[in-house]
Chain A
Amino acid sequence: MSTVDPKDLAAFSEQADAWFAENVVRDPGFMLPLTFMEVGTDPQFHFLRDWQNKVWEAGYLGAAWPKAYGGGGLPQAFQNAATRAMRKHHGPIMLNAIGLNWAGPLLLEMGTEAQKETYLKGILSAEDIWCQGFSEPGHGSDLGSAQTRAVRTGDHYVVNGSKIWTTLGRYARYMILLARTDPSTERKYDGLSFFLMPMKAPGIETVPIRKLTGEHGFTQTFFTDAKAPAEGLVGPEGGGWKVAMRTLEYERGARGGQAGGYVSVGANAFDVFDLAQRTRRGGRPVLEDPQVADEMVGYLMEIQALTLNGQRTQVPELIADRPQGIPLASKLMGTEMSRRLNDFAVRLTGVRGAYYVDEPEAADNGLWARNYLNAFSATIGGGTSQVQANIVGEHVLGLPKS
């Protein structure tokens, strides 16, 4: 697995490049979601599910997962090459993000053999869409206080309660679910368990939530005496907190093993730079305004720094003082920059900044305002930036808990 023949890799890269050049559909006739959290319509969903399935069948997704579970059994470098080709040809996002990036690598690491055999292939093929049930209406960032109850009855658990911000909740066949199996533990964390929960079952209701963009992307999920099979437990009963924390490491990219591809194509600074270069105000290029130019340079420096940070983590000597620093801080840095950058983009468009999606006179069909509003999904979801700052402060800088 570890040795890579450069010739094989080069041939694979070339094939991937040709495949994506030929197979990427540029315009399906409707707006494609930029992230997996923005899949709001059936045509979007079916298009992206078919696309992921096609990429997987061609061998360019899960290339580094074991063959026995639907993967390609190749070294990671091959999947990286495929992902690069996907990006180069601006392929649409991979739909089944929670399966590919979080649940999948988690099961590869901690799942039972039966769980791996049951679930992994469907994740790659997009036949089984996955969602996540961590946050609750009363407990967002404070996951450890989750109240959804799971009570053991014979070979299954009976689940009651509610989860919120369930991305792809309408479409999901399975949920990774954090639920309380014991409300009496001294430490609240010790009463939690981690389940692979079937979603198409009696007692489960999903209600769409309308986002601040006006679109529908996720749901609230209600459990009323819903059955979670006991063989779907990951880790021991009462050991759910540790499993959930490991899931978050995968979610935040602090740990490798993801199936590959990408699940968002958020605008980067270079796209905003392109916008700045073609935007005029009062008949003059907006970049001739020194204040705008200064701010633009600041963003170019920032995105360059994040790219360089990623490269630097490959050089052990240059991260020796705090090896976990950049990985644990990258979500905070990246998502906050994206939010500010899209705000800057909206202001760049001047008078048109007041327009929104579907207004014919809006710059880029109102994309920037929508990007800005959607950027909060990343600064809030997966742990708010404020919680992220606590994590960096405590785990990287060694400060006491807040």
Chain B
Amino acid sequence: MKDLGRIGFSEDQATLLEVATDFCQRRSPVATVRRLMEDEAGHDPAVWAELGDLGWLGVAIPEAFGGSGLGLAEVVPLVEQMGRRLMAGPFVSTTLVAQALVAGGTEDQKREVLPRIAAGEAASLALAELDTDWETDSIACAASRLPDGRLTLSGRKVLVTDAAEARWILVSVRLDGAPALVLLTPEDLPVDALRRETVIDGTRRSFALTLDGSVLASDRLLDPDRARATLEHIHLAANLLAAADMVGGTQACIDYTLDYLRTRTQFGKVIGSYQALKHPIVDAYTRYEQARSHLYSAAHCFNEQGTGEIAVRMAKAAADVAYSFAADRAIQFHGGFGFTWDCDAQLYRRRAIWHAAQFGDAGFHRKKLARLLF
């Protein structure tokens, strides 16, 4: 049997977990979450500025480029606590774009962009397309070279989060038949290139991005020799951070349901005393603990060749199952109230569905694991 990973926890992780737990609880109460769902930008610029001040945008950026030089293992507790408080904003996409540049950017790109991201410029990730699967090389959008060396793009990306405010958009394309990554700025986009999408998770600001007509200087291409490896890396990183958001959400969703089970009375009894409700919530809780263990194993082992991929896929698959089950039961256990907009259970359920649709659901990752393990 291959090494499936193990738990490890650094002092930096512990410190960041403690700080993030407090910060996210204070800055993202559910009333704020609901208010921001109705807001055009979808998140609070003041909170974004605070994240920058706390150094969170540069946690996994090397010190030479203005970051703290830690790794994604240290980003995991931050995203876990954000997910727990249903926090919105471009933190995860910005972090992933930075990681893509660290892994596969040219030296010039790293020097130019990473310090600006660490200082607070938002970035967005445009990898998904409608009619492709979750495989990293499943890309239909194309780039081709003009005679003067510039690149012209075509095709359409979807689920590009916070694209309207991103200073940088990282796009996967096919160039000379092979996967490639290019870095766009808003100035590169034709008018009306962005269309706001209606998505299931109302805390997201998501856009379809039409690339046709975009022309880029050749230095916007990331290192072509490392494009494939960089894409693999970004998909794994995205799944790791998604798992973090989902595990945090699962915890909050269970706590929210428990509050109701402890106080709601029917037929003369507090409903949490009924085993028909008690036992499934225990089931949800044990799945949550398992998913969280997978998460912190994946965080710890992320950079290990082989084991990292196994642990991340296990973490995402476990988180999908745990979050979906906990949130589905949360709606049901709130009875009539659960069917209303005002019950928070739906917020968690929607967020879980959003994550399952991106970078692979539990079934997809189990299939990948079968190939890795058998």
Q: Is B87 an interface residue (CB 8 A)?
A: no
Those of B322-374 within 8 Å (CB) of chain A? 363, 366-367, 369-370, 373-374
Q: In the complex the two chains form, is B273's CB within 8 Å of A297's CB? A: no
* Binary contact readout A329-345 vs B (1 if CB under 8 angstroms, 0 otherwise): 10011000000000000
Q: Which A residues are CB-close (under 8 A) to B275?
A: 386, 389-390, 402
Which of the residues A302, A306, A389 comes within 8 Å of B278, measured between beta carbons? A389
- A397 in complex: contacting residue of B14, B285, B296, B374, CB < 8 Å: B285
Known: A294-B367, A296-B370, A305-B318. A399 touches B258 (CB 8 A): yes
Decide if A214 is an interface residue (CB 8 Å cutoff).
no
Quick check: A399 and B273 within 8 Å, CB to CB?
yes
Instruction: Name the one of B293, B363, B374 contacting A312, with C-beta atoms under 8 angstroms.
Output: B293
A321 within 8 A of B: yes
Q: Which one of B251, B292, B318, B367 contacts A301 once the chains associate, using CB atoms below 8 Å? A: B318
Q: Is the CB of A297 within 8 A of B373?
A: yes
Cβ of B314 within 8 Å of any chain A Cβ, yes or no, is yes
The answer, yes or no, to whether B229 is at the interface (CB within 8 Å) is no
B50 to chain A, nearest CB (A): 23
Task: Determine if A287 is an interface residue (Cβ-Cβ < 8 Å).
Answer: yes
B262 CB contacts on chain A under 8 angstroms: 398-400
Rounded to whole angstroms, the CA-CA distance of A273 and B2 in the bound complex is 12
Chain B residue, CB-CB nearest to A294: B366
B1 to chain A, nearest CB (A): 6
Instruction: Write the A273-313 contact mask toward B (1 if CB under 8 angstroms, else 0).
Output: 10001000000000100100110111011101110110110
Contact across chains for B279 and A386 when beta carbons are under 8 A apart: yes
* Known interface pairs A300-B4, A399-B278, A400-B262; A308-B297 also in contact (CB < 8 Å): yes
Nearest-neighbor residue (CB-CB) of A292 within chain B? B370
On whether A305 and B294 interact (CB within 8 A), knowing A297-B369, A315-B7, the answer reads yes
CA distance A349 to B281 in the complex (A): 34
Is A297 a contact of B366 with CB atoms below 8 Å? yes
The B-contacting residues of A in range 82-99, CB under 8 angstroms, are: none
Q: Check if B270 is an interface residue, CB within 8 A of chain A.
A: yes
Give CA–CA (A346, B133) in the complex, Å.
Answer: 35
Asked if B5 and A392 sit within 8 Å, CB to CB, the answer is no
Contact B7 A311 (CB under 8 A): yes
Q: Is B198 part of the contact surface with A, judged by Cβ < 8 Å?
A: no
B contact residues around A389 at 8 Å (CB):
275, 278-279, 282-283
CB nearest to A401 among chain B residues: B273
Q: Answer whether residue A37 sits at the interface, using C-beta atoms and an 8 A cutoff.
A: no
Q: Give the distance in Å from the alpha carbon of A84 to the alpha carbon of B29 in the complex.
A: 47
Q: Does B274 contact A (CB under 8 A)?
A: yes
Q: How far is the CB of A355 from chain B (nearest CB, A)?
A: 26
Contacts A300-B373, A401-B273 given; does A393 touch B281 at CB 8 Å: yes
Which residues of chain B from 276 to 291 have any CB-CB distance to chain A below 8 Å in the complex?
278-279, 281-283, 285-286, 289-291
Contact present for A290 and B289 (CB under 8 Å) = no
Chain A residues within an 8 Å CB radius of B374: 277, 287, 293, 296
How far is it, in angstroms, between the C-alpha of A294 and the C-alpha of B317 when the chains are bound?
12
Decide yes or no: A329 and B370 within 8 Å by CB, A308-B7, A393-B278 being known contacts. no
Cβ of A393 and Cβ of B282 under 8 Å apart? yes
B288 to chain A, nearest CB (A): 9
* B258 proximity list for chain A (CB < 8 A): 397-399
A297→B2 CA distance, assembly (Å): 13
Which residue of A is nearest B284, CB measured?
A: A397
| Number of B residues with CB within 8 Å of any CB on chain A | 46
CA distance A192 to B269 in the complex (A): 30
Contact B314 A301 (CB under 8 A): yes
Q: How far is the CB of B195 from chain A (nearest CB, A)?
A: 37
- Which B residue's beta carbon lies closest to that of A397? B258
Nearest CB in chain A: distance from B134 CB, A: 16
Is A1 interfacial (CB-CB < 8 Å)? no
**Chain A interface: which size bin?**
35 or more
B17 within 8 A of A: yes
Nearest Cβ distance between residue B275 and chain A, in whole angstroms?
5
Out of A270, A306, A402, name the residue touching B273 (CB < 8 Å): A402
Give the shortest distance, in Å, between A390 (CB) and chain B (any CB). Answer: 7
Report the nearest B residue to A269, measured CB to CB.
Answer: B1
A308 touches B317 (CB 8 A): no
CB–CB B272/A399 < 8 A = yes
- The residue on B at minimum CB distance from A400 is B273
Assembled-state Cα–Cα distance A389/B273 (Å): 12
Shortest A319–chain B CB gap in Å is: 9
Of A296, A300, A332, most B-chain CB atoms within 10 Å: A300
| CB atoms of B1 and A325 under 8 A apart | no
Query: With the chains together, A317 CA to B281 CA distance in Å?
Result: 24
Q: Which residues of B contact A298 (CB under 8 A)?
A: 366
Contacting A at CB under 8 A, from B18-70, are 18
Chain B minimum-CB-distance residue to A276 = B374
A74 at the interface (CB under 8 A from B): no
Closest to B368 in A: A297
Interface positions of B (Cβ within 8 A of A): 1, 4-7, 9, 13-14, 17-18, 251, 254, 258, 261-262, 269-270, 272-275, 278-279, 281-283, 285-286, 289-294, 296-297, 314, 317-318, 363, 366-367, 369-370, 373-374
Q: Give 11 A-B contacts (CB < 8 Å), ordered by A residue.
A: A290-B370, A294-B366, A297-B370, A301-B318, A315-B9, A317-B18, A390-B275, A392-B282, A396-B285, A397-B285, A402-B275
* A interface residues, Cβ below 8 angstroms from B: 270, 273, 277, 287, 290, 293-294, 296-298, 300-302, 304-306, 308-309, 311-312, 314-315, 317-318, 321, 325-326, 329, 332-333, 386, 389-390, 392-393, 396-402
Which 5 A-B pairs have CB atoms at the shortest separation, nearest pair first? A305-B290, A308-B293, A399-B272, A311-B7, A293-B370
- Known contacts A301-B314, A399-B262; 14 additional CB pairs below 8 A are A293-B367, A293-B374, A297-B369, A308-B7, A308-B297, A315-B9, A325-B289, A332-B286, A333-B290, A396-B285, A399-B261, A399-B273, A400-B273, A402-B274
